[in-house]
Amino acid sequence: MLPQLYSFRRCPYAMRARLALRYAGIELEIHEVQLRAKPPELLRLSPKGTVPVLLLPSGELIEQSADIIFWALAQADPQGWRRLELDAEALPWLALNDGPFKRLLDCYKYPDRYPQTTQTQWRAEAEALMLAPLEQRLARHAYVLGPNPSWLDLALLPFVRQFAGVDAAWFEAAPYPALRAWLQAWLGSDLFIDVMLKPAQAT
Ligand SMILES: N[C@@H](CCC(=O)N[C@@H](CS)C(=O)NCC(=O)O)C(=O)O
């Protein structure tokens, strides 16, 4: 049996997992899940009901996207995208992204659901928290952790992509040229195109 990935194509967490699994060359069966109608076998395996979830042939279940990235890179890491000595620097970025930035991203994306303040204000908060600090780094080097790619680029890029897509015209003109270049380079990479364009195998 191959590892089984429960995924949703547009979910940024699932996207980062697929990117890492593909980079590591892991052969998989992908089950594309409808979030409104999750398959009972997924809920039996993982009652928390989020994707991605990776079921290994051993029966081990990996239920968090970051853990799927780390598992994949532990199997194969052809270009050294996880250097453990950089984790002390990388992990706080992951926490910032998955916690406060993701919350602001949701507010910015769905301002009607979060009427406490305006969409522009949500965006400004997200810029200060994440976009401006990322721009500063990417102006100095091509990737988030330095001159070489790392797992952190994969972990962050689906969220920056989503942010950029909320108001593409605004993002194009915003003062984040290095971030735009970084995002465009990843979105144009064979790796990204591969995980997004290949039709997911139906369950
Ligand atoms: N902490 C989880 C978050 C995963 C997550 O929230 N995925 C969303 C889709 S983007 C989900 O499955 N939500 C459940 C739902 O919408 O019912 C991870 O990193 O894997």
List, for residues 129-140, the tens digit of each pLDDT value: 999 999 999 999
Residue 138 and residue 146: Cα distance in Å, rounded? 8
What is 4-80+190-197's CATH number? 3.40.30.10
84-187 CATH pick, 3.30.1360.120, 1.20.1050.10, 3.40.50.12780, 3.40.50.450: 1.20.1050.10
pLDDT at 30 over 80: yes
Question: What is the atom index within ligand 1 of the atom nearest the CA of 17?
Answer: 20
What percentage of the chain exceeds 90 in pLDDT? 96
Ligand 1 proximity of 64 Cβ (cutoff 6 Å): yes
Confidence category of residue 203, pLDDT binned at 50, 70, 90: very low
**How far is residue 132 CA from its own chain's centroid?**
19
Ligand 1 proximity of 6 Cβ (cutoff 6 Å): no
The closest of 18, 65, 54 to 196, measured between CA atoms, is 18
Question: What is the atom index within ligand 1 of the atom nearest the CA of 64?
Answer: 20
One-letter amino acid of 171: F
pLDDT at 201 over 70: no
The closest of 34, 20, 49, 4 to 150, measured between CA atoms, is 20
Average pLDDT over every residue of 54-67: 98
Strands laid side by side in the 29-32 sheet? 29-32, 4-7, 53-55, 61-62
> What SS3 string covers 65-111?
HHHHHHHHHHHCCCCCCCCHHHHHHHHHHHHHHHHHHHHHHHHHHCH
Ligand 1 proximity of 4 Cβ (cutoff 6 Å): no
Is residue 129 within 8 A of residue 187, CB to CB? The reply is no
Ligand 1 proximity of 175 Cβ (cutoff 6 Å): no
Cα-to-centroid distance, 111 and ligand 1 (Å)? 20
Residue 16 and residue 92: Cα distance in Å, rounded? 17
| Extents of the domains making up the chain | 4-80+190-197, 84-187
What are the CA-CA distances from residue 172 to residues 86, 163, 183, 202 (Å)?
A: 31, 12, 11, 35
For the stretch 138-192, pLDDT in tens is 999 999 999 999 999 999 999 999 999 999 999 999 999 999 999 999 999 999 9
Tokens 């908060």, residue located:
125
For the stretch 103-125, pLDDT in tens is 999 999 999 999 889 999 999 99
Residue nearest to atom 6 of ligand 1 (CA): 50
Is residue 144 within 8 A of residue 153, CB to CB? The reply is yes
The closest of 196, 127, 126 to 158, measured between CA atoms, is 196
Question: CB count, 10 Å around CB of 171?
Answer: 19
The confidence score (pLDDT) of residue 19 equals: 98
